[in-house]
Amino acid sequence: MGLENLKGNYDAIFSLGDLCLTSMQLQKNNLRNFSGVLDWMASPFMNQVNRLLENRFVGFFDEASLRIIGYASENIICVSDDGYHLVSNHDFHVHEGNSLQSLAGYHKVMEKYGRRIRRSLEKMESGQRTMFIRTEATFEDTAELVRVLRGLVKNDFEVLIVNHTDVPDLTERHWPIANVTVVEMPNFEKWNGNDHLWRKVFEGVSLTSAGPDEGESLLGPNQE
pLDDT digits (tens, 9 = 90+) for 11-35: 999 999 999 999 999 999 999 999 9
User: For residues 103 and 91, is the Cβ–Cβ distance under 8 A?
Assistant: no
Please state, for a pLDDT cut of 90, what percent of the chain lies above it: 92
Q: What is the pTM of this model?
A: 0.93
- CA 218 from chain center: how many Å? 14
CA–CA distances in Å: residue 89 to residues 34, 73, 101: 19, 8, 16
Q: What are phi and psi of 87, to 5 degrees?
A: -130, 130
pLDDT tens for 173-221 read: 999 999 999 999 999 999 999 999 999 999 999 999 755 544 454 555 6
Task: Report whether the peptide linkage leading into residue 18 is cis, meaning its omega lies within 30 degrees of zero.
Answer: yes
